[in-house]
Amino acid sequence: MTSHNEKNDSPMTCAEFQEHLPELFAAGSEGAMDDPKLLEHLKTCENCSALVRDLQYIADQARQLLEPTHDPSDNVWEKIKNSMAAEAPTPDLEKI
């Protein structure tokens, strides 16, 4: 996407930009984009900005999954109860 020849002041390529992504995401919002070259690439490259948007979106959506939807079957609690009773036979446990 970004083509360049000079070594130093040349704009970053997509591959170079994307190599920084794991660190950038891990750094979060604080000082993540302090490298002007990264920022510049993100602003000018549609490809990479869409990628960043999508990955951020996926990370945000993941929180939905925190709400669990599945229950263990009842016999899990039966087994726990039995093991607890065997380990610590207190009169109290019989009430469960």
Name the residues that contact Zn ion, by CB under 5 A. 1, 14, 45, 47-48
């002041």: which residue's tokens? 9
- Nearest distance from C-beta of residue 37 to Zn ion, angstroms: 12
Q: Which of 5, 8, 29, 64 binds other proteins (CB under 8 A)?
A: 64
| Rounded (5°) CA angle 49-45-51 | 25
Rounded Cα distance between 39 and 33, Å, is: 6
- Nearest distance from C-beta of residue 33 to other proteins, angstroms: 16
Q: Which of 4, 35, 44, 57 binds other proteins (CB under 8 A)?
A: 57
Q: What, of Zn ion, other proteins, none, does residue 84 touch, CB below 5 to 8 Å by kind?
A: other proteins
Query: Which residues in 21-39 are b (16+ Cβ under 10 Å) and which e?
Result: eeebeeeeeeeeeeeeebe
Q: What, of other proteins, Zn ion, none, does residue 73 touch, CB below 5 to 8 Å by kind?
A: other proteins
